[in-house]
Structure 1
Amino acid sequence: MIAQQRIEYTGVRELRGPLAVVAGVRGVGWDEFVRIRLSGREIRHGLVLEVDRDLAVVEVLEGTAGMDTEGTRLEFTGEPLHVPVGPGWLGRVCNGRGDPADGGPPVFTSRRTRVAGAPINPVRREPPAEPVLTGLSAIDALTTLVRGQKLPVFSLPGLPHLELATQIAAQANVGGEPFSVVFAGMGLTHTDAAFAQDALAPRSAAGELVLLLNTADDPVIERILTPRLALTIAEALAFDGGRHVLVVMTDMTSYAEALREVSAARGEVPGRRAYPGYLYSDLAAVYERCGRIRGLPGSVTVLPVLTMPGGDITHPVPDLTGYITEGQIVFSREVNAQGIYPPIDPLSSLSRLMRVGAGPNRTRPDHLPVAAQLVAALARARQLRELSELIGTSALSRTDRSYLDFEEAFRRDLVAQRPDESRTLDDTLERAWQVLLHLPAGELTMLPSDLLDRRRADRSAQQEAG
């Protein structure tokens, strides 16, 4: 068999931001991987973004800084970008392109797969089931994360979303089954990247974590590649290796801004707030790669973290993310101002798959009714808090004041948690019971009477023994 001859093209017509426009090409396809040789013999890499007759637009992964149109040569490989996949990634720290950043050798495995990937075929999807426990009471009790789910965190600038993301990545578990975490940081400052690496070092040393860190001064194209690389690694660990994999991606707003920058460099007609018109389909192509596949072991669960510019939940990135995903965890400035971590607003947060991942044979039989009662009581407490600010607490009835006591205990004893504290689900639900028992029995209408009687009897026995 005669080996296919590879041709190097030198017709670089224009360098435009992170893009190189090449003329005179033949037989080049979309998403094709490109090797770029600079005049100083430096090698860079790229992907074909667009082809029009004999013109190809190539996005340069390392950026176009230092490139010139005269001495640059491009070799089109005839195939998409592939990366090695397998357990060799576990315990490694890499940049957003997958190049080692821990001083170790490149990742070598026996199998390679396409980075671009594809969403899971709906016909082959298995419904999400069984929980992923984060060790955080505010999430495990009220917005339970389910294996195969995509559950975003909506934060605001200046709030501790990176701390929450790293804490979840460091302590999440699935109850003893094979479990791994892929953490993809995008647009991080060097300080934040160092913080994430230090916080996740124990899990990385245990061989349970893949860490991909893209910093703010890295090329913008790398930021677009990072979540796709993370998901490609996760899919192999899950569906080939039989692991349950949690992919934590922060910050998806930085990803969307990188997409907007590339779109502007291409001269595309902008959509809402100058984001490209295909932002929805692009985000969906990322988020929909999670799930479970019928007949294959393992699962991929996605927890994307994003900041809402100006605190605007109708901003295109959180707005479109909310359409695609199955719920949301929402941060609150008010809760953060009270010194409570994590600053989650339970009444704005929701896990639409919680009912299939919690309850009998999943977590505990009392989990769902306790969660429902907590939310109902918290909504009532918030109404009474607003009323007390108008008429004064003394004008409220004893029952009404018990709701205010409940709200204070809820935040102090259940939600508030140290950034290095991991709670078991039993601990979380026991705390929830103690909080609910601040209310009169007649107000606990969402709890089965036999369950409530047994709890009150246990509490009385403990008080007598004490």
Structure 2
Amino acid sequence: GRGAGAPGTQPAHTVPCPPAAYRTVCGVNGPLVVLDNVKFAQYAEIVNFTLPDGSGRSGQVLEVLGSKAIVQVFEGTSGIDAKQTTCEFTGDILRTPVSEDMLGRVFNGSAKPIDSGPAVMAEDFLDINGEAGRRDGPWAPRPRGPGAARHPPALAGQPINPHGRIYPEEMIQTGISPIDVMNSIARGQKIPIFSAAGLPHNEVSAAREEVPGRRGFPGYMYTDLATIYERAGRVEGRNGSITQIPILTMPNDDITHPIPDLTGFITEGQIYVDRQLHNRQIYPPINVLPSLSRLMKSAIGEGMTRKDHGDVSNQLVGTGAAGEGTAAPRGAHGAARPQYACYAIGKDVQAMKAVVGEEALSPDDLLYLEFLHKFERQFIAQGPYEKRSIFESLDLGWQLLRIFPRQLLKRIPESVLAEFYPR
């Protein structure tokens, strides 16, 4: 029995009991497996499954009802046999191996290396959910008074109290022009990449027969997402930072779907990956109009990047109505539209061209079409191993802006134009 292995019930010289194994699968429902006749199962406990073909999978206990346990299998339930599948309760929660050797490495969501490097030797195993109920750490009340600086909060991957954060003001150079120039990321920021695919969270909720919320998703989605995202930041009194750039999938490319919609309330912007750009062989397919970085303004400018950074970004894409992904309204052909940015106007001219034909466009309209094509093919598009510095990206932006006469560049102050436009 597993009870004999509980802490404090055995003499120090005895050997703890091995994890309990069962062959009592009594039901499979989507990603969930129901086990019967289990003893001492615990909430959030990790369960290892051995399938009839010898392959292994892992899962986590979601609910315990008497002698039954409901386990969510991380890798899916296909191939799980009710008679021959063995389930082993580990007696522990999900922990992540950590070490200083992880710095600079690339891992998947299960903390396994995916950069072709060697395995990481763990110095410790930390609970990925933090230790509930503790009164210290980043979520604790902030100490006050003269001795406060001697007791900085810990930073171990747990959700961080926003009151203990430092406002991010240091830009991270990604080497990707559409991100560095138009959507600069600051150290400690949380900014997701919106991509296309599907999410099973509503399927798990339905399998557990929970009360559905919007579009069948459970009502606790917002708090679940917040516990994931609120682990990023820079903590006052501590060195280092945690920056989150998760990939978030949007079913049917729908940005109003509950998952990306709720995520937008928590994160500080988003990078939007566009299917149409991908189909046109533009890599990386970043749509700069709906993309946004709310902390960009504090991480750019003179002393951090370059004094023309904000002006170039505004003129290329803009942050007004057109910059949020809406089409720029048109006046008479040839009329100047200084309140809108070049790329937004170019998209609008492209749509008009499909209706009236290229012959009906004004000379200025043709300039915007030329800019649109070159911006997507030269600025957004990069080689998979091409890394541009922020200064190279800004210079490329100026090269594209010189397609227009100076009088059309209304978002850039005259002093900045005088310094950078003639180059």
- What TM-score do the two structures reach when normalised by structure 2? 0.71
* 1:139 counterpart = 2:81: no
Q: CA deviation at 1:98?
A: 4.6
Match of 1:408 in 2: 373
Q: CA deviation at 1:427?
A: 0.8
- Segments of 5+ residues of structure 1 without an aligned counterpart are 157-252, 460-466
Q: CA deviation at 1:62?
A: 6.5
Q: CA deviation at 1:115?
A: 2.0
2:388 to 401, 423, 426: 423
**Number of aligned positions between the proteins:** 358
**More helix per residue:** 1
**Residues 209-263 of structure 1: CA distance to partner in whole angstroms, max 9, x if unpaired?**
xxxxxxxxxxxxxxxxxxxxxxxxxxxxxxxxxxxxxxxxxxxx55x32x34433
1:364 to 300, 303, 306: 306
Structural mapping, 1:21-420, within 5 Å: 21-23=35-37, 25-26=39-40, 29-34=42-47, 46-53=59-66, 55-60=68-73, 65=79, 68=82, 75=89, 77=91, 79-89=92-102, 97-98=110-111, 107-117=120-130, 118-156=158-196, 256-257=199-200, 259-375=201-317, 376-420=341-385
State the secondary structure of the residue aligned to 1:435: helix
One-letter amino acid matched to 2:269: G
The answer to whether the Cα contact below 8 Å between 1:29 and 1:48 also exists between their aligned partners in 2 is yes
CA distance in structure 1 between the partners assigned to 2:398 and 2:192 by the alignment: 27
* Largest Rg, 1 or 2: 2
* Overall identity of the aligned pairs, in %: 41
Change (3 A) 1:407 1:101: closer
The answer to whether the Cα contact below 8 Å between 2:43 and 2:63 also exists between their aligned partners in 1 is yes
The answer to whether the Cα contact below 8 Å between 2:34 and 2:68 also exists between their aligned partners in 1 is no
One-letter amino acid matched to 1:434: Q
Q: CA deviation at 1:101?
A: 8.3
State the secondary structure of the residue aligned to 2:400: helix
- What TM-score do the two structures reach when normalised by structure 1? 0.65
Q: CA deviation at 1:124?
A: 1.4
Match of 2:10 in 1: 3
Q: Give the root-mean-square deviation of aligned CA atoms.
A: 3.7
Q: CA deviation at 1:144?
A: 1.2
Q: Could you say which structure has the greater relative contact order, defined with CA pairs below 8 angstroms and 6 or more residues apart?
A: 1
- Segments of 5+ residues of structure 2 without an aligned counterpart are 1-7, 131-157, 318-340
Q: CA deviation at 1:20?
A: 3.4
Change (3 A) 1:84 1:347: closer
Change (3 A) 1:63 1:335: closer
CA distance in structure 1 between the partners assigned to 2:410 and 2:102 by the alignment: 50
CA distance in structure 2 between the partners assigned to 1:387 and 1:34 by the alignment: 59
The answer to whether the Cα contact below 8 Å between 1:11 and 1:24 also exists between their aligned partners in 2 is no
* 1:16 counterpart = 2:5: no
Change (3 A) 1:12 1:345: same
One-letter amino acid matched to 1:133: Q
Change (3 A) 1:399 1:93: closer
